[in-house]
Amino acid sequence: MQQARRSTSSPSTPKAPPIFINATDSVPGHLQMNMATALQNVNDAFSVIQSFGALNHLPVFIGEDDPDSCAACISPNVDYRNGLIYPSYTAAAFTREIDLAVQYSVNLTGALTWAFEYDDHPYFDGFRVLSTNQIDKPILNIFRMFGMMQGTRLEANSTGQARLDDVLANSVKGELSDVGVLASMSAEGDKLALIIWNYHDDALPKPDAEISLRISDVFPGRSAVGLTHYRIDETHSNAFSAWLNLGSPQDPTQEQIVGLKADGMLQMLHSPSTLKLKDGIADIEFELPIHSVSLLVIE
């Protein structure tokens, strides 16, 4: 029988906070997220805004756009804040919020994380912060990725991306993970950026996603472009996993601190390369582990 421990958030919160599911004979204990409830509330709010035609042009900001409502709580169900599931959740959820804004013709201008600073606290204590003792967490790197996207959104489709209606109804709890994409093109038309994620609500091992990416009709007249591939995964842009590998020191040496600060920065998967185009088409293939996120910058 599965049992769950819920966060200290009030039952009236407009979110369904993550839960920790105790181990059974067949499934280990693990964290489980829930994107659906938060998106349902965004959907309802946008529907109300649309119903007042005079409001549609006004800028809309989503406040505390986070999976739970208790930034200063520490319990097993908020362990997501240190690791990979948080940035992959954010990539998947934010893209759906953009889709909902388009659906309702709402002027979505921004979404905010309510991250705070807590002085004199242990490393990676679980509070909702973007950095811990000046060491950046993986969640900060998804915002760095978003910050590298410029201009306007481009059409991008993924055969592995769950339908918006399905995520609204069920979140991402089925057998398959959500492998999605968000793309943008700079105003000058010379810089394409794509964020690709592999997300599932359950913090459990899942197969890598085999990504086969085709780019077409984006760089007319060009025979080659530059490719820079950034990654958030277990070994890239992830100071938390590096800290765990050091034995979770609460009094790290100066050398360890320097290394952890470097591990916390947004990192490339490999050195920049040249991508050849044939008739305006280029194909890229790579593996994307569960709860990992890639940013491809092509220019």
**Could you report the per-residue pLDDT of 47-80, keeping only the tens digit for each?**
999 999 888 899 999 999 999 888 888 887 788 9
**Could you report the per-residue pLDDT of 9-52, keeping only the tens digit for each?**
333 345 678 998 899 988 899 999 999 999 999 999 999 999 99
**Could you report the per-residue pLDDT of 94-139, keeping only the tens digit for each?**
999 999 999 999 999 999 999 988 888 999 998 999 999 999 999 9
Structure confidence at residue 53 (pLDDT): 87
**Could you report the per-residue pLDDT of 192-243, keeping only the tens digit for each?**
999 999 999 999 999 999 999 999 999 999 999 999 999 999 999 999 999 9
Distance (Å, rounded) from C-alpha 20 to C-alpha 31?
4
Higher per-residue pLDDT: 22 or 268: 268
Q: Where are the domains of the chain?
A: 13-21+28-298
- Decide which of 3.60.60.10, 2.60.40.1500, 2.40.10.10, 3.80.10.10 is the CATH code for 13-21+28-298: 2.60.40.1500
> Does the model's pTM come out above 0.85?
yes
Using 50, 70 and 90 to split pLDDT, how confident is the model at 179?
very high
Per-residue buried b or exposed e for 102-139, using 16+ beta carbons within 10 Å of the residue's own CB: eebebebeebebebeeeeeeebbebbbbbebbebbbbb
**To the nearest whole percent, how much of the chain has pLDDT over 90?**
83
**To the nearest whole percent, how much of the chain has pLDDT over 70?**
95
Structure confidence at residue 5 (pLDDT): 35
